[in-house]
């Protein structure tokens, strides 16, 4: 009688397990190829849109918002909405969640711990990527355009006024809310709408240009998608 093992609670022969692993591997490779293509196409589209906004629309949009809305209730409302993805609050929340997982279930044996860890890692990776790109590009924030007529990239800057792209609030919002929308798909519309609202608020408070928000959304979305891919790579519910 051939040796038998359990796979997801079902008793299978070694031959069946090997065949199952083979088909899972094939499925994983195909889904990875699909995600590579989607990421590459989305990156190209995002780059093109970024350049179009950078060259033709960013200055005009932020100048219009600054001149037309600065004395209205829009900036104050934008500040309230932006607080939902405040960097200090999000980092504190991620830290507390990491600690909670380590204390309660460091082995990720419980489903809630694995899901929470996935959300935290998605947010943490996206934040690190965003901070690195801010330093690399060193784009002048809109305030530099309003006060000193400075626009464009400075490169390798640690100054807040030169950290316009990508939008950090947008990255934090889209990474965490995209992760939530993947896990709880019935609420995808609510999560993504909230992320879009937070991103738009960064333009209304003239802290960023529209292209910064677009760039941040791309980073946040695909960081969460790729993190999910590696977290649940063998799970049958992942549809690629």
- pLDDT confidence bin for 22, thresholds 50/70/90: very low
Task: Identify the residue with better confidence: 33 or 240.
Answer: 33
In Å, how far are 15, 27, 79, 233 from 22, measured between CA atoms?
11, 9, 52, 14
Q: How far apart are CA 48 and CA 3, in angstroms?
A: 57
Q: How far apart are CA 172 and CA 124, in angstroms?
A: 9
Residue 5 pLDDT = 45
What whole-number percentage of the chain has pLDDT above 70? 84
Q: How far apart are CA 65 and CA 46, in angstroms?
A: 23
Residue 232 pLDDT = 83
Of the candidates 50, 31, 36, 76, the residue with the CA atom closest to the CA atom of residue 153: 50
Q: How far apart are CA 8 and CA 29, in angstroms?
A: 21
Average pLDDT on 128-144 reads 97
Scanning 53-185, the segments in alpha helix (DSSP H) are 58-69, 74-82, 87-105, 111-137, 142-148, 168-183
Domains observed in the chain: 28-231 (1.20.144)
Residue 50 pLDDT = 98
Average pLDDT on 37-66 reads 97
Residue 34 pLDDT = 84
Q: How far apart are CA 93 and CA 67, in angstroms?
A: 36
Residue 57 pLDDT = 98
**Structure tokens given for 61:** 């949009």
Backbone torsions φ then ψ of 50, nearest 5 degrees: -60, -50
Residue 79, pLDDT > 90, answer yes
What whole-number percentage of the chain has pLDDT above 90? 75
Q: How far apart are CA 3 and CA 18, in angstroms?
A: 12
* pLDDT tens, residue by residue, 175-189: 999 999 999 999 999
- Give Cα 228 distance to the centre of its chain: 12
Backbone torsions φ then ψ of 68, nearest 5 degrees: -100, -30
Report yes or no: 222 and 39 within 8 Å, Cβ to Cβ: yes
Residue 15 pLDDT = 53
Of the candidates 205, 216, 61, 214, the residue with the CA atom closest to the CA atom of residue 131: 216
Residue 1, pLDDT > 90, answer no
| Average of per-residue pLDDT values in the chain | 88
Residue 194 pLDDT = 98
Backbone torsions φ then ψ of 102, nearest 5 degrees: -65, -40
Residue 188 pLDDT = 95
Residue 52, pLDDT > 70, answer yes
First to last CA, the chain: 38
Residue 26, pLDDT > 50, answer no
Residue 12, pLDDT > 90, answer no
Residue 235 pLDDT = 56
| pTM for the predicted model, two decimal places | 0.86
């Amino acid at each position: 009688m051939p040796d038998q093992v359990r796979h997801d609670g079902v008793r299978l022969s070694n031959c069946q397990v090997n065949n199952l692993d083979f088909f899972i591997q094939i499925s994983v490779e195909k889904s990875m190829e699909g995600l590579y293509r989607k990421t590459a196409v989305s990156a190209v589209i995002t780059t093109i849109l970024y350049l179009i906004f950078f060259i033709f629309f960013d200055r005009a949009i932020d100048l219009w918002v600054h001149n037309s809305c600065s004395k209205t209730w829009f900036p104050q409302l934008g500040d309230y909405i932006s607080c939902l993805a405040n960097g200090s609050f999000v980092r504190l929340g991620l830290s507390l969640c990491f600690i909670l997982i380590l204390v309660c279930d460091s082995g990720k044996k419980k489903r809630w711990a694995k899901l929470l860890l996935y959300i935290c890692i998605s947010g943490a990776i996206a934040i690190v990527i965003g901070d690195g790109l801010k330093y690399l590009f060193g784009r002048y924030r809109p305030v530099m355009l309003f006060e000193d007529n400075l626009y464009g990239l400075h490169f390798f800057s640690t100054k807040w006024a030169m950290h316009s792209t990508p939008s950090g609030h947008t990255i934090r919002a889209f990474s965490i809310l995209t992760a939530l929308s993947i896990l709880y798909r019935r609420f995808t519309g609510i999560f993504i709408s909230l992320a879009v609202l937070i991103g738009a608020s960064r333009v209304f408070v003239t802290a960023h240009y529209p292209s910064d928000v677009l760039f941040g959304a791309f980073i946040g979305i695909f960081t969460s998608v790729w993190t999910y891919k590696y977290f649940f790579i063998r799970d049958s519910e992942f549809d690629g």
